[in-house]
Amino acid sequence: MMEEVITHPLRLGPFAVLVATCLWLLAATRRVSREIGGSAYGFGGTSCQLWAQRLFRASVVGALLSTLGDAIHLGWMGVDAIAIVPEALIPVGMVMAVAGSVSTVVARSDMGRRWRVGVPEKDPDALVTTGLVALSRNPVFVGMLTLAAGLVLALPSPLMVASALGFWLACEMQLRDEERFLESAFGASYADYRRRVRRWL
């Protein structure tokens, strides 16, 4: 089994990209928390926030299980691809996944110490409107959804498809609360930014 994994490094690609992105985001959240002297992690407060948090977590765990299970041939129901993927599409999916991961990192970096996960208790000290945020109001989510779409293309298993759909639904739920928070925190500045820049692309 390990010989096949070693001779087919693309099998480990989806898992490696996903793990690297998750670890980087965890480290970035801790770094921002240290910089602001509080928690950059703000899930909670409303039932919508709690459900979004649960969906995000379940989606990430499902995607990790799916990619790892495929890489080491666990043979679990739901992990195997639902269709035979043309070999040429697997690298295409991997390119999408890597591009999504890179754009997630860049977008998060553009926000610097003003980046938050969820809706924080305390308002950031400024509204970020430059970098990738000038092209999309939610470039981190766009990057993550591109990563998810790439993983689905590279590994179209039922679990991966369900994880990607669950992540998209969690994003939609989360954005409603975030937009209300930003409108309350920044008023006319956010209203003007919202008129100029699309929610997605």
The sign of the torsion formed by the CA atoms of 41, 44, 48, 54 equals positive
The token pair that represents 54 in the structure block: 């649960």
pTM for the full predicted model? 0.90
Question: Of 60, 73, 69, nearest to 22 (Cα)?
Answer: 60
Does position 84 have pLDDT exceeding 50, yes or no? Answer: yes
* Average pLDDT value for the chain: 89
Which residues 6+ apart lie within 8 Å of 177 measured at CB? 46, 48, 49, 52, 119
* Higher pLDDT pick, 85 / 193: 193
| 32-43: pLDDT as tens digits | 999 989 888 887
Which residues 6+ apart lie within 8 Å of 124 measured at CB? 114, 116, 185
pLDDT at 5: 44
Mean pLDDT of 122-129: 86
The structural domains of the chain, with segments of one domain joined by +, span 43-114+123-196
| 3-29: pLDDT as tens digits | 444 445 567 889 999 999 999 999 999
